[in-house]
Amino acid sequence: MRRRLLKWLICPICNGALELFASKCSRLSINEVDYDLLRAIARITDSDEVETEIITGALACAACRVYYPIYNAVPRMLTYTTEVARVHQRENALWIQEQLPGFTLPHCAAPPGEEEVLRNFSIEWTEFDWSGRSYWSTTPARAVDWMRYSLGTSKHPLQGKLALEVGIGIGAMADGVSRVENCEIVGVDLGYGVDRAQKFFGENHRLHIVQASVFALPFRRTTFDVVYSHGVIHHTYSTRTAFSHLTGLTKENGMLYVWVYSHEEETTSGVRRILMQIERAVRPSLSRLPRSLQIIFLAPVLPAYMLHQSLVRRRKMGPEAAVKYGWTEALIAARDRLTPPFAHRHTYEEVAEWFRSESYGNLEFLRDEPLPGGFPDDLVNLRVSVGIRGFSQPKLSREHSIGSTFHSTDQIPRPVLNS
Ligand SMILES: C[S@@+](CC[C@H](N)C(=O)[O-])C[C@H]1O[C@@H](n2cnc3c(N)ncnc32)[C@H](O)[C@@H]1O
Ligand SMILES: [Zn+2]
């Protein structure tokens, strides 16, 4: 964790200030371009804020008497006790006793089904052996182009801005976008994909990696120029509630972008309709199985994924755009479809209403935006899903938003510490 991240962090339980305790730090060596960029974005004068990385430590909330571990350079901000928090506690027992007497690990109840979501996506991403060759069905460079197109960076440049990506998975998009767009990104994910992200992209000074849930994001309100979440909130118990947790974090006129599965995507062909029915039927059971049994059930379908990629996608998109599927690529694709406990579907109209009711205006729909020249129409399926950008309206209009079900922050479910 870079020291300057503390500027933006708060306790995800009570929203109070956090105090940083470091037991192991390192000094980063940063080139001049990054140095100037990062100091300007965070408006800092102290070089320590840019150059110091905390490898092991804790973030403590005096009001809750709770501490959040920093382990493997990643702040662990979940509001319930996790495996990694217990490991940190065991390995640092003496230090915690000395530095944080009377403090405990957070022990709220997890949001419905979230521990299963964490388990399944952690398996998905820790199994994915990142080689820099592929990301989903395409190359990492093309996936970053897709993300920039989705964020509309040609109209809304990210240069010199601070963005939050919720649900970074292995972190490849956040890494690529921060490099190409010259911006700083805080990347959050629920699962242990964050450790892979730290391993592969931890040396990118423009990227902060945080383990946290969309339902208890540990950030000050109105901190970010841009908040985005791609393919994430439909995998929670309630897409709508998750959406409401993203809304207070943008600055005034800041941009919020979300991409979620659509009903339309389900019905693009007869074959797809049948496949979706099968998926619906098997997902609840598969998501509950232990990892080894999941592999036994998934293994027979992997050749079908490989064949489809080779015979259909590579022919349609060309070999430079569609990578060849090996076992790893086929496995992550199959896992992503068949093991998440939740995968809700929505319509453009429904999600647009969520934006409006939370006082986001000037909505931009991905389905209406032509793909830029030279960008092959290989990602058309992604456009069949719902991708919407909205811009935060001035505070005053929030009070007057019509038909809002979530406009008061008091109505958003918050974590509560168990006694
Ligand atoms: C399908 S992956 C998408 C990853 C990446 N955004 C992309 O589009 O390639 C969904 C990700 O959402 C994360 N996720 C699921 N529930 C979450 C939650 N409550 N808070 C934060 N992240 C969550 C999962 O851990 C997983 O990494
Ligand atoms: Zn607190």
Residues 6+ away with beta carbon under 8 Å from 323: 133, 134, 137, 138, 139, 309, 329
* All CATH 3.40.50.150 domain ranges in the chain, comma separated: 117-212+221-265+341-392
Distance from C-alpha of 99 to C-alpha of 258, rounded to nearest angstrom: 40
* C-beta 166 within 6 A of ligand 1: yes
Burial annotation 35-64 (CB, 10 A radius, 16+ → b, else e): eebbbebbeeeeeebbbbbbebbbbbbeeb
For residue 336, give the ligand 1 atom closest to its CA: 1
* All CATH 2.20.25 domain ranges in the chain, comma separated: 3-111+401-408
Kindly give the confidence (pLDDT) of every residue in the chain, 419 residues in length, as a single tens digit, with 9 standing for 90 and above.
999 999 999 999 999 999 999 999 999 999 999 999 999 998 888 888 889 999 999 999 999 999 999 999 999 999 999 999 999 999 999 999 999 999 999 999 999 999 999 999 999 999 988 899 999 888 999 899 999 999 999 999 999 999 999 999 999 999 999 999 999 999 999 999 999 999 999 999 999 999 999 999 999 999 999 999 999 999 999 999 999 999 999 999 999 999 999 988 878 778 888 888 999 999 999 999 999 999 999 999 999 999 988 888 888 888 888 888 999 999 999 999 999 999 999 999 999 999 999 999 999 999 998 887 656 555 666 788 999 999 999 865 444 444 445 544 556 788 988 87
Determine contact, residues 151/322, Cβ cutoff 8 Å. Answer: no
Distance from C-alpha of 353 to C-alpha of 99, rounded to nearest angstrom: 48
Angle at 36 between CA 144 and CA 76, to 5 degrees: 60
**Per-residue pLDDT, 377:** 59
**Per-residue pLDDT, 318:** 83
> With helix as H, strand as E and coil as C, how does 115-178 read?
HHHHHHHHHHHHHCCCCCCCECCECHHHHHHHHHHHHCCCCCCCCCCEEEEECCCCCHHHHHHH
| Prediction pTM value | 0.94
* C-beta 117 within 6 A of ligand 1: yes
> 78, 356, 303: which is closest to 210 by C-alpha?
78
Burial annotation 343-366 (CB, 10 A radius, 16+ → b, else e): bbbbebeebbebbbbbbbeeebeb
The amino acid occupying position 125 is W
**Per-residue pLDDT, 394:** 82
Question: Ligand 2: distance of its center to the CA of 119 in Å?
Answer: 25
Question: Ligand 2: distance of its center to the CA of 268 in Å?
Answer: 47
Question: Ligand 2: distance of its center to the CA of 18 in Å?
Answer: 8
Q: Which of 170, 190, 201 to mutate to test the pocket of ligand 1 (most atoms within 8 A of CB)?
A: 190
Strands 386-392 and 250-260: antiparallel
* C-beta 119 within 6 A of ligand 1: no
Determine contact, residues 178/185, Cβ cutoff 8 Å. Answer: yes
Tokens 């991708």 correspond to 387
**Per-residue pLDDT, 89:** 98
For residue 111, give the ligand 1 atom closest to its CA: 19
* C-beta 245 within 6 A of ligand 1: no
Angle at 201 between CA 199 and CA 207, to 5 degrees: 125
Determine contact, residues 219/213, Cβ cutoff 8 Å. Answer: no
Distance from C-alpha of 415 to C-alpha of 25, rounded to nearest angstrom: 30
* C-beta 213 within 6 A of ligand 1: yes
* C-beta 256 within 6 A of ligand 1: no
For atom 4 of ligand 1, which residue has the closest CA?
169
- For domain 117-212+221-265+341-392, the question of CATH label 3.40.50.150 is answered with yes
* C-beta 235 within 6 A of ligand 1: yes
For atom 20 of ligand 1, which residue has the closest CA?
213
**Per-residue pLDDT, 316:** 81
Determine contact, residues 264/276, Cβ cutoff 8 Å. Answer: no
Ligand nearest to the CA of 106: 2
Q: How far is CA 91 from each of CA 77, 96, 233, 257, rounded to the nearest angstrom?
A: 18, 10, 33, 39
Residues 6+ away with beta carbon under 8 Å from 50: 2, 3, 4, 28, 30, 35, 38, 39, 42, 44, 205
Tokens 């959406």 correspond to 243
Q: Which of 130, 189, 233, 379 to mutate to test the pocket of ligand 1 (most atoms within 8 A of CB)?
A: 189
Distance from C-alpha of 259 to C-alpha of 234, rounded to nearest angstrom: 9
User: Hey, what CATH class is 3-111+401-408 in?
Assistant: mainly beta
Q: Which of 79, 232, 259 to mutate to test the pocket of ligand 1 (most atoms within 8 A of CB)?
A: 232
For atom 9 of ligand 1, which residue has the closest CA?
169
Question: Ligand 2: distance of its center to the CA of 91 in Å?
Answer: 24
DSSP string covering 329-385, please?
HHHHHHHHHHS-S----B-HHHHHHHHHHTTEEEEEEGGGSPPPTT--GGGHHHHHS
Ligand nearest to the CA of 241: 1
Distance from C-alpha of 384 to C-alpha of 406, rounded to nearest angstrom: 27
> 230, 256, 260: which is closest to 245 by C-alpha?
256
Distance from C-alpha of 286 to C-alpha of 281, rounded to nearest angstrom: 10
Residues 6+ away with beta carbon under 8 Å from 168: 174, 187, 188, 189, 193, 194, 197, 209
> With helix as H, strand as E and coil as C, how does 251-281 read?
EEEEEEEEEECEHHHHCCCHHHHHHHHHHHH
Distance from C-alpha of 288 to C-alpha of 278, rounded to nearest angstrom: 17
* C-beta 194 within 6 A of ligand 1: no
Residues comprising the chain, all counted = 419
Ligand nearest to the CA of 216: 1
Question: Ligand 1: distance of its center to the CA of 400 in Å?
Answer: 33
The residues placing their C-beta within 5 Å of ligand 2, an ion, are 11, 13-14, 16, 61, 63-64
CA 176 from chain center: how many Å? Answer: 14
